Structure 1
């Protein structure tokens, strides 16, 4: 990463940190873009170079996870069974979580707290996750040589994989630490692979 990229990343993280503190301190709806920008000593225009709005900032983990999964799928062998490829993509997300810095972990846990306290953001999170599933379905359909608008199996493959991730992140929630999340996600991936017979995803 060059100097310019490092500076941009530093600014992006500073915006996120300031926003999360304000969201949790005074409420999501009560926090304005102007307040976030002011806390980082940037202009609102600069804020919008990094995030389109507050919701975009609150959903950043979707963007990050989607990028990791798509990059991983692009690197997997073309003849690999699609569900297997998706499990490798989930493991790449898990590896990223495991390599999180303390600051990364703190941001993630603050975002979970933010969503817990704002049900309308949960709905936005579900909608954002649905967009990720659609993009993944397009990739899996291309690997299988089928039309994503016509092939139900493709969408089931993606839905099963993403359900594995959701269960890993959310069920059952106990102490809410990053260590617990990592452990549950690893267990969820292993359970999914054990429960589904190899080759189930190869039928047309």
Structure 2
């Protein structure tokens, strides 16, 4: 049944307002990240960001709590997408398979520019910015710890386990997280390759979760170290 004209008009106006809000938020994030990358995080002020977008400080703080929030917001968007994707993975997958599949799926969304709040062109530069800014890196690591707790909860629900009495969910999440951090940090610092190549890097690192990592690292011909 067709909607009355006043209802359609109200819905159209509401849609336009939402698009305008999203466009303003995206413009603020884009200009902030551009300035951070161009002149440094600490050297960029909120006034400079708002001047570029021609909005007030009040508008900036309507969308972001701080400059730090602007930088970490794409990471938060990726984390939320990862958790949602993990929840929806087939129950037949073991925890490691499910997390790897979710990682690949979310990276593909980023690569296709389908994840709201994440600019695939700026993403590598943002991660490099975080790595070289001590305050941002500290916040990023704290956020990673909270993310691990959320992942433990999801894996525990999937497997029907109580994480308080069964440590396996926390161990597998910590292992996956550590490998993910090592892989992405090396990849970002190297600053080469595309976003799809990072999945190959992760798989290569995960393949080490076997004799290559847990076996004897010394070759038979290697002499034992001498102790004083």
**What is the TM-score normalised by the length of structure 2?**
0.72
Tell me how many residue pairs correspond in the alignment: 194
Instruction: State whether residues 130 and 137 of structure 2, in contact with CA within 8 Å, keep that contact through their aligned partners in structure 1.
Output: yes
Range 15-24 or range 168-177, more displaced: 168-177
Equivalence for 1:22: 35
Counterpart Cα distance in 2 of 1:126 and 1:39: 30
Structure of higher RCO (CA pairs closer than 8 Å, 6+ residues apart): 1
> Which structure shows the bigger proportion of residues in helix conformation?
1
Counterpart Cα distance in 2 of 1:55 and 1:81: 36
Instruction: State whether residues 164 and 188 of structure 1, in contact with CA within 8 Å, keep that contact through their aligned partners in structure 2.
Output: yes
Range 64-73 or range 107-116, more displaced: 107-116
Range 159-168 or range 128-137, more displaced: 159-168
Counterpart Cα distance in 2 of 1:72 and 1:31: 35
Counterpart Cα distance in 2 of 1:96 and 1:177: 20
Instruction: State whether residues 105 and 178 of structure 1, in contact with CA within 8 Å, keep that contact through their aligned partners in structure 2.
Output: no
Instruction: State whether residues 167 and 188 of structure 1, in contact with CA within 8 Å, keep that contact through their aligned partners in structure 2.
Output: no
Q: What CA deviation, in whole Å up to 9, does each residue of 1:104-123 have, x standing for no partner? A: 23321331342243122111
Equivalence for 1:80: 93
Closer, same or farther: CA 149–50 of 1 in aligned 2, 3 Å: farther
Q: What CA deviation, in whole Å up to 9, does each residue of 1:114-153 have, x standing for no partner? A: 2243122111111111111111111111222223344321
Any gaps of 5 or more consecutive residues in structure 1? Answer: 198-204
Counterpart Cα distance in 2 of 1:78 and 1:13: 36
Equivalence for 1:192: 206
Q: Secondary structure at the match of 2:90?
A: coil
Instruction: State whether residues 167 and 185 of structure 1, in contact with CA within 8 Å, keep that contact through their aligned partners in structure 2.
Output: no
> Could you list the runs of 4 or more consecutive aligned residues of structure 1 that deviate by over 4 angstroms after TM superposition?
172-175
Closer, same or farther: CA 126–38 of 1 in aligned 2, 3 Å: same
Counterpart Cα distance in 2 of 1:46 and 1:148: 42
Equivalence for 2:184: 169
Counterpart Cα distance in 2 of 1:149 and 1:62: 28
RMSD: 2.7
Closer, same or farther: CA 71–137 of 1 in aligned 2, 3 Å: same
1:14 is displaced (CA, Å) by: 0.8
Any gaps of 5 or more consecutive residues in structure 2? Answer: 1-14, 212-228
